[in-house]
Structures are given as C-alpha cells and as structure tokens.
Amino acid sequence: MPLFFRAFRALNEFLDREYRGLLYNIIYAKYFKDPRRIARHRSERAKELRALSPYDDTVKQYAARYDFDWRLILAMMYQESRFNPGASSFAGARGLMQVLPGTAGEMGFDNLYDPEESIHAGVKYLAWVRERFEPELSVRDRMWFTLAAYNAGSGHVRDARRLARQQGWNPNVWFGNVERAMLLLSRPQYAQAARHGYCRCGEPVRYVRDVRSRYNAYVAMNLEEKAEPGGPESDPGGESPRPGDEI
C-alpha cells in the first residue's frame, strides 16, 4: 500500500478513536475555546490580505522618518511583542516595541501601550542605538549590531567586538564573527575580562537571527511593492536585496 494511503488510513483511525474523547476535548478547548488565545491571534491578523500586520501604515510613517526599512521594524515588532500592544516583560518593557518606560520617558513618550506611541518610541530608540556604531561599517552589519544592542545593550556588543578581534575574527562582521564572540561572553572566563561583564548573549544572537529570517520572509512576500520616495528600499538601512538574496 502506498505511503500516502497508509498515512491517510492512520489519520482516520486516530480521528475515529479520539473524536470527542479526552485528548480531542483538551486540544479543541485549547485552540478554539480559549478567549485569550483567540483574541491574540485576531490582533495579529492583518486587516487586509496584502498587509503584513495591523500596523503597517504607522510603521511605514516612522520607518521613513528615521531611515529604516519598514519591514525590518515589523520583523522586530513581531519578535518583541507578537503585535500585541498590551505586551509587557518581566524586566518592565512595554508595548509593541518593548521599550522600557525610563528610556521612553527620556525621549518624551509616556504611554507605551498606545500603538503609535510605542512604535514611534521604538523606532526613535533604534535610530539612537544605530548612532552608537560607526557609519563606516557595511549597511547590513551596522544594522545587525544595532539589533543586538537593542536587545542586549550596546556595551555588550562593543565587548563582543573587542573579543572577536582578540580571537582573530572580524570585529566588523556580525554573522560568523562577532556573534561567535557574543556567545563567549556567557562564559565566566570571558565575562570577567569584559568591560560590561556577563551577558546572557545567546538571547541577542537568536534575536538577530530570528529578526533577519522574518525580515527576509516579509521582503519575499512584499517584493512587488515599490520603495517609498526618500526611504530605504529593502535592505535594513538602504540596500535592496534581490529575490532569493538572503541576508
């Protein structure tokens, strides 16, 4: 019997055995009866078929103002909050872009649960973080350093760049170089010698990779849209990737 038919028969047997049983009822209640889960998925759903999120227009506005690709900001926002404007973290970060209230206050924002204010605060802070890295870096690597610093702080990224140089790796390239040094900062022997100390640096390494993957997916979904005048086209910060050109 072909594999497809064996699998189909096994699926039917499973449904016959479990339908309306305990396992069925638990799964059904979890995914179709939980009001919080349903509300979360509704909030993540794009209002229009071509939209990437419910916040595309607002993100485009502030991404253009601070010279970012709006799809990169969306990829960050999903990673930070899953498009949930009421999100909060154990560290106190709030809103769609998970900005700390103290940081937001220094920039003139006070209601991080308001979607537009949170987006503006997050993008403005991201632009400030980008300025901590020299413009002579490649557009892409400067952006990856910026993302890592948004997640873990620019001090830890500078420590990782120094450590990369000591290890004989390129301190100006994130993937395969500074990210490797970043992981070393989680080890006591390296953290003790770092200016900014210990870092749970597996987190920013995963963060940058996850944002990059989602950004590439958003670009692939949205290649037909033309760049807005005066704004970066597709690559985070300016360069335009071609179809299939993974960053």
Query: Mind telling me the catalytic residues?
Result: 80
DSSP the chain: --HHHHHHHHHHHHHHHHTTSHHHHHHHHHHHT-HHHHHHHHHHS-SSTT-SSTTHHHHHHHHHHTT--HHHHHHHHHHHHTT-TT-B-TT--BTTTTB-HHHHHHTT---TTSHHHHHHHHHHHHHHHHTTS-TTS-HHHHHHHHHHHHHH-HHHHHHHHHHHHHTTS-TT-IIIIIHHHHHHTTSHHHHTTSTT----THHHHHHHHHHHHHHHHHHHHTTTSPPPTTS--SSTTS--PPTT---
